[in-house]
Homo-oligomer: A and B are copies of this chain.
Amino acid sequence: MAYGNGIAALGDPTRRTIFELLGVGPRSVGDLAGELPVSRPAVSQHLRVLKDAGLVSESRVGTRRVYRVEPEAVAELRTYFDEFWTQALAAFKTAAESELEGEQHGSN
């Protein structure tokens, strides 16, 4: 049940942008900061949150740190909304049917 942290982590717009940038391919911190309207430390802090949520992982290359998306975490979120959608749709149908029960063959 780590998806909760994931959704919360992606709640922030800046963090979601970072995540989407990493979705294209791995990147360094300064590189990311270069494309964002916030300071580099801010990006570092966002990356920490994403990392704690298991959405991204870090690897050191020389003096810089490269972050990349963790596909498994995304898969979890995907599954969550997938199942939720199925369930919501079923509930939607059920609700529509029980509405009809009250008016039997009412045309409207």
Contacts of A20 in B (CB 8 A): 84
Contacts of A75 in B (CB 8 A): 85
Q: Are B78 and A23 in contact (CB under 8 A)?
A: no
Give the number of times this chain occurs in the complex, counting copies. Answer: 2
Q: Are A92 and B71 in contact (CB under 8 A)?
A: yes
Instruction: Give the docked Cα–Cα distance between A11 and B85 (Å).
Output: 17
Chain A interface residues (CB < 8 Å from chain B):
4, 7-8, 10-13, 16, 20, 23-26, 68-69, 71, 74-75, 77-78, 81-82, 84-85, 87-89, 91-92, 94-95
Contacts of A12 in B (CB 8 A): 8, 11
Cβ 8 A contact of A24, one of B81, B87, B89: B87
